Amino acid sequence: MKPWLLHISTAQKVNYVAISRGEEEVLTQRLGTLNAAAYLHVAIQQGCKIVGASLKDFAAFCIHAGPGSFTGLRVGVSAAKALAFALKRPLIATTTFEIFLRFAKRYCTSQTTIVVFQHSYRDVYLMAAYDTQGTTVLAPQVIRLSQQPSFPIKDKCLLVGQVPPIWHNKGSLMPIEDLPISDWLQLDWERFQKKEFVNLITFEPFYLQPFIPKLRK
C-alpha cells in the first residue's frame, strides 16, 4: 500500500484539508472561507476519523505555501511544521504558481510560454512565466494595474489563473479561480517520491507581498 499524505491549504480565500494515499485522492474537505485558525485542527481530526487513519500513519505533511494571506499562511505552515516536528516526518511545500503550472501544462499546445496569475487584492496581481518544460522565464513578481504596466512576454502565451482583464487579449485564456486539487496532491506525491523536503527550521511561507497591517479607523 502506498503511504498516507496529509495536505493543508490556508493560502487563499478557500481553505482545504486533503488526505491522499500516494497520488490518489482519498478525501478533500473544503473549508470555504472559515477561519483557518479555528477550524483547521478540527478538520484534520475529522478527516483522520473518516478515512480511518491516525496522525502517526502519515508518511509526510504537505503545505500549500502561498502566495497568499499573511495570517492564513502562518496558520497553515505553523500547523504543518508542528505536526512534522512532533511526529518526526518530512515537510513538503508547493506554491500556487507550481500547482497552476502543472495543471496548465496538460493543455498547452501551440503556446510557447505559460503565464500564471494570482489576484492578491484590489488592483494588485502576482505573476510568473514558464516555458512548456517548466523552466522559469519570468520570476514571480508583483503587478500593480494602477501603474499601467506593459505586458512583459513577447511569445505566444497561455494565460492561466486569475488573469487581469486588461491582458485578456495577450494570449489564450485558461481561467482558474480555485485550487486544482488533483494537481496539488500529485505534485506533493512527486516530491515525496523524490524526497524533495523542506527544512523544518528555516522554511518560511511564500509571501511575495509584504505584510500590511490593517489599521482601525
Asked whether the predicted pLDDT for residue 98 surpasses 70, the reply is: yes
User: How does DSSP classify residue 110?
Assistant: S
Q: Taking 90 as the threshold, does the pLDDT of residue 70 lie above it?
A: no
* Residue 15, pLDDT above cutoff 60: yes
Share of the chain above pLDDT 70, in %: 93
**Three cell numbers at 90?**
518530512
pLDDT at 172 exceeding the cut of 80: yes
Residue type, 47: G
Assess contact for 140 and 177: CB atoms under 8 A. no
167 in a structural domain = yes
Q: For residue 211, what pLDDT band results from cuts at 50, 70 and 90?
A: very low
Q: How many domains does the chain have?
A: 2
**Per-residue pLDDT tens digits for 187-198:** 999 999 999 999
- Whether residues 79 and 138 share a domain: the answer is no
Q: Are residues 69 and 130 in the same domain?
A: no
Check if the beta carbon of residue 9 is closer than 8 Å to that of residue 179.
yes
45 and 125, same structural domain? no
Q: What is the CATH number of the domain that holds 91?
A: 3.30.420.40
- Residue 105 DSSP one-character state: H
Average pLDDT, the chain: 89
In this prediction, residue 215 has a pLDDT band, given cuts at 50, 70 and 90, of very low
- pLDDT bin (cut points 50, 70, 90) of residue 213 is very low
Q: Are residues 114 and 184 in the same domain?
A: no
Same domain? 110 vs 161: yes
Q: Please check whether residues 43 and 111 belong to one and the same domain.
A: no
Nearest to 125 by CA among 67, 168, 170: 67
What's the mean pLDDT in 71-76?
86
For residue 57, pLDDT beyond 70: yes
Q: Give the pLDDT of residue 12.
A: 81
131 CB-side CA count, 13 A: 4
- Give me the domain span that covers residue 158: 96-175
pLDDT at 112 over 80: yes
Claim to verify: residue 29 and residue 101 sit in the same structural domain: no
Question: Which residues, 6+ apart, have CB-to-CB distance to 205 below 8 Å?
Answer: 11, 65, 66, 68, 73, 74, 76, 77
Beta bridge partners of 128: 116
What is the reported pLDDT for 209?
Answer: 59
Q: CA torsion 152→153→158→159, rounded to 10°?
A: 0
pLDDT value at position 208?
A: 63
Query: According to the model, what pLDDT value does residue 36 have?
Result: 67
* Residues with Cβ within 8 Å of residue 26, at least 6 apart in sequence: 19, 20, 51
User: Sign (positive/negative) of CA torsion 80, 210, 14, 179?
Assistant: negative
Residue 155 is predicted with a pLDDT of 84
Three-state SS at 55: helix
Same domain, 80 and 107: no
Domain with residue 157: its CATH number is 3.30.420
How far apart, in Å, are the Cα atoms of 123 and each of 137, 139, 175, 207? 23, 20, 17, 17
What global pTM score does this model have? Answer: 0.89
